[in-house]
């Protein structure tokens, strides 16, 4: 008979991961998608002037480059020189709400000292350089996440979502 697994290691055998709750609830109307992935803080930001337009904004860790363009790769008109556009500012502020400013600073490799009130404080703590990058991958992931909202509710497992984070796993006391 195989040895009993300890409750502490039980999570390793699951196909779901513990989700880190957001630092604070955030509004999804302006920044519906934000993620720390592929060495970047990246996301989708709604246009302030055209309801049918969205921007894909990105901050890259390490080399501290940034990019902002529409979902069809047209450059953002507000991004020039040493100034970030409003889409990048909204993205980093919402990332600070979602993940916490300290975590965003660590991920982007920004040496943050003192209290960080907003994500835009992180922008001023280092020198950024504009480098255009493709929006296609980020926008495709955003559309993929939207498609999950259209799935009918079910208690049955969905093979495509076997990796998708679940709610917090039961504590060791609840397992025994």
Residue 173 pLDDT grade (very low, low, confident, very high; cuts 50, 70, 90): very low
Query: How far apart, in whole angstroms, are the C-alpha atoms of residue 40 and residue 59?
Result: 5
Whether the predicted pLDDT of 72 surpasses 50: yes
Residue 58 pLDDT grade (very low, low, confident, very high; cuts 50, 70, 90): very high
The pLDDT tens digits for 121-164 are 888 888 899 998 888 889 888 888 888 777 777 777 766 665 55
Amino acid 172: pLDDT: 46
Angle at 66 between CA 23 and CA 143, to 5 degrees: 65
């Amino acid at each position: 008979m195989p040895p009993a697994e300890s409750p502490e290691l039980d999570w390793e055998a699951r196909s779901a991961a513990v989700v880190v709750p957001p630092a604070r609830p955030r509004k999804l109307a302006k920044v519906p998608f934000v993620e720390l992935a592929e060495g970047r803080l990246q996301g989708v930001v709604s246009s302030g002037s055209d309801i049918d337009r969205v921007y894909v904004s990105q901050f890259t860790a390490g080399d501290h480059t940034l990019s902002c363009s529409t979902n069809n790769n047209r450059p953002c008109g507000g991004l020039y020189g040493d100034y970030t556009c409003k889409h990048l500012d909204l993205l980093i502020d919402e990332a600070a709400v979602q993940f916490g400013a300290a975590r965003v600073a660590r991920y982007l490799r920004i040496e943050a000292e003192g209290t960080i009130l907003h994500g835009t404080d992180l922008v001023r703590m280092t020198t950024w350089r504009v480098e255009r990058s493709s929006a296609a991958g980020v926008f495709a992931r955003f559309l993929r996440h939207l498609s999950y909202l259209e799935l009918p509710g079910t208690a049955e497992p969905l093979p495509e979502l076997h990796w998708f984070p679940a709610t917090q796993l039961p504590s060791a006391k609840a397992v025994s």
